[in-house]
Chain A
Amino acid sequence: MPGSDPADGDFVDTIALAALEAGAQHSVYVGMRRVLLCRVDTDVFAFRDACPHALQPLKGGAITGTTIRCPKHGACFDMKTGMPQNGITKASLELYAVRIRDGIVQVDAGPDKRPNPYQQFGG
């Protein structure tokens, strides 16, 4: 579902904020992107659930402060800026804008550009 005002980005509803307790992580699909939602105290961070080192899921990675550590090979990222914190990758997290509307976590992961290969012909 797109956000109420189409002019202000591509925010889509994900889960209720109440379902994301402090310290919790939850992965959702936004279009074709798997997005990891992480709650730290009152902040919610959203980023692509694919570590830029080898594109593995970050879900389940240990969180210290606002740093998440990838469970696979140990890359660390600051969830506020997306910046890598050690040398294993120089690439940053793909961060997405988050807002809360009516108690729902909304995420803007950009426009969805997928055509449907089975629906564009015949039928």
Chain B
Amino acid sequence: MAGDELKVVRGFSSKASPLPQDLLKADTREVPAGLLATGTYPSADKTIALNRYCSPEFAQLEKEKLWKKVWQFACREEDIPNVGDRIPYTVGDLSFMIVRSGPSSFRAFYNTCLHRGTRLCDGMSSGESVRCPFHAWEWNLDGSLKNIPSRWDFPKVDSEKYRLPDVKCETWGGFIFVNPDPDAAPLSKALGVLPEHFASFNPAERFTAFHIRKKVRANWKITMEAFLESYHVVETHTESLGFTGDASTQYDVWDDGASHISRLITPSAIPSPHLGDHASVADAVNQAFQAFALAMPGVPVPQYDPASRLNGRAQVAEWRRQMMGAGLGRDFSNVSDATMIDSIQYYMFPNFCPWFGEGLPLVYQFLPHGDNPNESIMSVRLTVPVPGGGAPRPPSAPIREIDFDERFDAVPEIGLLAIIFDQDMGNLPRVQAGLRGAEPGHAFATLGRYQEQRIRHFHDVLDRTLEA
């Protein structure tokens, strides 16, 4: 294709809004090596057939070749803090029960009773054994059969053959992953650059401060792709432009064949390049102070200090270090400005989106909903460092379910994020409805070569996975 010879433009900056790698040079602290690393997967043009977002056959193919075959993010260790705690991980119409089987060991089982097929675990629950609600067949936490009522009536049931079938289950950084493929390579192969890039962030030493599960009337890929680029910020989150480097966002992809990782770095406390070379840096800093303060009611909102020896971004970062340090009894004094304030989001194929840094320390998970290709579930967590000074680990927040027609606005504790998510959520059913009615000759999406490259990479990997 002739277009492939065109040089890729790696983001668009302005005098007031430099590219992330230039901002990192002005950081007041040592920048983690991972943030300086850049991706190795080439950018290119791509179109995506729209029927993969709505065809039941395609969803079925994904179930067989994707969800039954790959490492995927299930939950966090702190969701099931005590031995015997369990929680379901449900992806489409597959479901697994994740159990804390020992003080620091986890197992995942098919969430289906071996008697007549009842789902064993519908939500967070606990106990020394797993007991089916229908006739009380019962298993130990290691999956061995414990009891069958009226055992005399099942003379052919061999206890060894009626162990609960399990699937591979491994952890990294407090995250629990499962893989139903018994022949799968270890999780470490699928994590790629993540352990190295997250070393300074220590995700294991964090807890879930809020946890939302939102039902969405859009295919899981449509929902996910809306969060893989900052190209939509200028239209969908217009009021963020004053303090967000949307068009200057840096996108990186790493793929060694076994791991498929991508990242975006959207700088904060600088104006959008769309606002031009003369956009106000002071306004950007003040708006960033305001945005962070919205989640901290009662905390006075600082103002940009033009006389400070610190630049604006460093001022916001320093305030965040002090606020978080005092609130959590931890020391953030060596944490880089970028880590304190920027929006840095990683993605691991197929459903895991951990954010890096204290700017926006979220974790997303994207899942098909039942066998309906037009529906999905997005889970959003905010993770916070566990308090220092020997304070006890705070409990994980309970899951707040938000139905199709409910808004994030119903969860005021997430501050400014509520309207941002609701703006995103507004787009998704429109995309799903629109793509199903596309003109047959133009039933494809056209991706931006740089800003939408993470979506392209996702589909490259999906193609390879489904063809395997």
Residues of A within 8 A of B (CB): 29, 31-32, 34, 50, 53-57, 112-119, 121-123
A112 to B296, CA, bound (A): 11
A33 to B324, CA, bound (A): 24
Assess whether B328 is in contact with A122, with CB atoms less than 8 Å apart. Answer: yes
**Could you pull out 11 A-B pairs where Cβ atoms are within 8 angstroms?**
A34-B239, A112-B412, A114-B297, A115-B413, A116-B297, A117-B384, A118-B296, A118-B384, A122-B391, A123-B327, A123-B329
Assess whether A114 is in contact with B328, with CB atoms less than 8 Å apart. Answer: no
- B297 contacts which chain A residues (CB < 8 A)? 31-32, 112, 114-116
Tell me if B423 is interfacial: C-beta within 8 Å of chain A. yes
Residues of B within 8 A of A (CB): 209-210, 236, 238-239, 290, 294-299, 323-324, 326-330, 382, 384, 387-389, 391, 394, 412-413, 415-416, 418-419, 422-423, 426-427
- B298 contacts which chain A residues (CB < 8 A)? 116, 119
Assess whether B327 is in contact with A114, with CB atoms less than 8 Å apart. Answer: no
A105 to B236, CA, bound (A): 30
- A55 contacts which chain B residues (CB < 8 A)? 419, 422-423, 426
Assess whether B384 is in contact with A32, with CB atoms less than 8 Å apart. Answer: no
Known contacts A29-B294, A118-B296, A118-B327: does B427 contact A54 (CB below 8 Å)? yes
A34 to B238, CA, bound (A): 13
Assess whether B328 is in contact with A32, with CB atoms less than 8 Å apart. Answer: no
Assess whether B329 is in contact with A57, with CB atoms less than 8 Å apart. Answer: no
| B457 CB, min distance to chain A CBs, angstroms | 28
A54 to B209, CA, bound (A): 28
- B239 contacts which chain A residues (CB < 8 A)? 34, 57
Q: Which residue of A lies closest to B358 (CB)?
A: A118
Number of contacts between A and B (CB, 8 Å)? 79
Contact of A121 among B295, B296, B323, B391 (CB under 8 A): B391
Q: Which residue of A lies closest to B425 (CB)?
A: A55
| B128 CB, min distance to chain A CBs, angstroms | 31
Known contacts A114-B295, A116-B297, A116-B299: does B327 contact A54 (CB below 8 Å)? no
Contact of B394 among A50, A56, A121 (CB under 8 A): A121
- B423 contacts which chain A residues (CB < 8 A)? 54-56
- B295 contacts which chain A residues (CB < 8 A)? 114, 116-117
A117 to B323, CA, bound (A): 11
Known contacts A29-B290, A121-B394, A122-B389: does B328 contact A113 (CB below 8 Å)? no
- A113 contacts which chain B residues (CB < 8 A)? 412-413
Assess whether B413 is in contact with A50, with CB atoms less than 8 Å apart. Answer: no
| B3 CB, min distance to chain A CBs, angstroms | 32
Assess whether B422 is in contact with A121, with CB atoms less than 8 Å apart. Answer: no
- B422 contacts which chain A residues (CB < 8 A)? 55
Contact of B238 among A56, A115, A118, A121 (CB under 8 A): A56
| B61 CB, min distance to chain A CBs, angstroms | 33
A112 to B295, CA, bound (A): 11
A19 to B394, CA, bound (A): 46
- A53 contacts which chain B residues (CB < 8 A)? 426
Assess whether B238 is in contact with A123, with CB atoms less than 8 Å apart. Answer: no
Assess whether B418 is in contact with A119, with CB atoms less than 8 Å apart. Answer: no
Known contacts A29-B294, A113-B412, A116-B297: does B426 contact A121 (CB below 8 Å)? no
Residue from A56, A57, A112, A114 with most neighbouring chain B CB atoms (10 Å): A114
Q: Which residue of B lies closest to A49 (CB)?
A: B239
Known contacts A32-B415, A54-B423: does B210 contact A117 (CB below 8 Å)? yes
- A57 contacts which chain B residues (CB < 8 A)? 238-239
A55 to B420, CA, bound (A): 9
A119 to B330, CA, bound (A): 12
- B294 contacts which chain A residues (CB < 8 A)? 29, 32, 114
- B328 contacts which chain A residues (CB < 8 A)? 118, 121-123
Contact of B413 among A117, A121, A123 (CB under 8 A): A117
| A96 CB, min distance to chain B CBs, angstroms | 15
Assess whether A50 is in contact with B419, with CB atoms less than 8 Å apart. Answer: yes
Assess whether A122 is in contact with B387, with CB atoms less than 8 Å apart. Answer: yes
Q: Which residue of A lies closest to B416 (CB)?
A: A32
Ordered nearest first, which 3 A-B pairs have the shortest CB separation? A122-B387, A118-B327, A122-B391
- B418 contacts which chain A residues (CB < 8 A)? 32
| A26 CB, min distance to chain B CBs, angstroms | 14
Q: Which residue of A lies closest to B382 (CB)?
A: A117
Assess whether A122 is in contact with B388, with CB atoms less than 8 Å apart. Answer: yes
A118 to B295, CA, bound (A): 9
A31 to B327, CA, bound (A): 21
A56 to B296, CA, bound (A): 23
